[in-house]
């Protein structure tokens, strides 16, 4: 009976010895996917934030450009002012354009969202807003 106990002890010891390193191998397989998912979530958040900055600048530009006796240049100036305050490094290579046909004003903001990975170009973002121009109309 005692020999059976030794055999069981040997088997238990052998089994635990064979399991050594399994956690390390599992982490080596799983960790890159976890890291990739975390980077993807952060990059998507940075892209979304840059889009919101561009949209806010375009909306502010339209608000300024559609005011009575204002023009597209006023909208461009206001959009650039908003970008100067809020964009920081989140939105790079920014260009602002505004146009008006006399009845509607449109402001477009283009830029590149910052990339989390060095050497990888960011995503191009284009946001625009438009609205009716305020004007005096004879009754």
Domain that holds residue 104: 2-132
DSSP annotation of 138: -
pLDDT digits (tens, 9 = 90+) for 122-139: 889 999 999 998 877 788
Question: CA 55, CA 104: separation in Å to the nearest integer?
Answer: 18
pLDDT at 21 (0 to 100): 67
**pLDDT of residue 20 exceeding 70:** no
Q: Would you say residue 17 lies in a domain?
A: yes
Q: Would you say residue 84 lies in a domain?
A: yes
Q: Would you say residue 83 lies in a domain?
A: yes
Q: Would you say residue 60 lies in a domain?
A: yes
H or E segment to which residue 92 belongs: strand 91-100
Q: Would you say residue 139 lies in a domain?
A: no
Contact 77, 109 (CB under 8 A): no
pLDDT digits (tens, 9 = 90+) for 80-104: 999 988 877 788 889 999 998 888 9
Question: CA 76, CA 70: separation in Å to the nearest integer?
Answer: 11
Q: Would you say residue 138 lies in a domain?
A: no
Question: CA 16, CA 35: separation in Å to the nearest integer?
Answer: 30
Q: Would you say residue 113 lies in a domain?
A: yes
Alpha helices in the chain (DSSP H): 2-18, 22-65, 72-86
Contact 41, 35 (CB under 8 A): no
Q: Would you say residue 137 lies in a domain?
A: no
pLDDT digits (tens, 9 = 90+) for 30-85: 899 999 999 989 999 999 999 999 999 999 999 999 888 888 899 999 999 999 88
The verdict on pTM exceeding 0.85 is no
Total domains present in the chain: 1
């Amino acid at each position: 009976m005692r020999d059976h106990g030794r055999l069981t002890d040997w088997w238990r010891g052998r089994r635990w010895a064979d399991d050594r390193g399994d956690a390390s191998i599992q982490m080596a397989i799983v960790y890159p996917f976890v890291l990739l998912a975390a980077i993807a979530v952060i990059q998507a958040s940075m892209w979304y934030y840059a889009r919101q900055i561009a949209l806010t600048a375009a909306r502010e530009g339209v608000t300024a450009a559609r005011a009575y006796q204002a023009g597209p240049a006023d909208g461009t100036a206001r959009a650039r002012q908003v970008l100067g305050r809020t964009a920081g490094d989140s939105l790079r290579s920014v260009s602002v354009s505004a146009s008006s046909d006399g009845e509607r004003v449109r402001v477009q903001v283009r830029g590149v969202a910052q990339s989390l990975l060095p050497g990888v170009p960011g995503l191009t973002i284009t946001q625009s807003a438009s609205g009716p121009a305020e004007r005096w109309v004879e009754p």
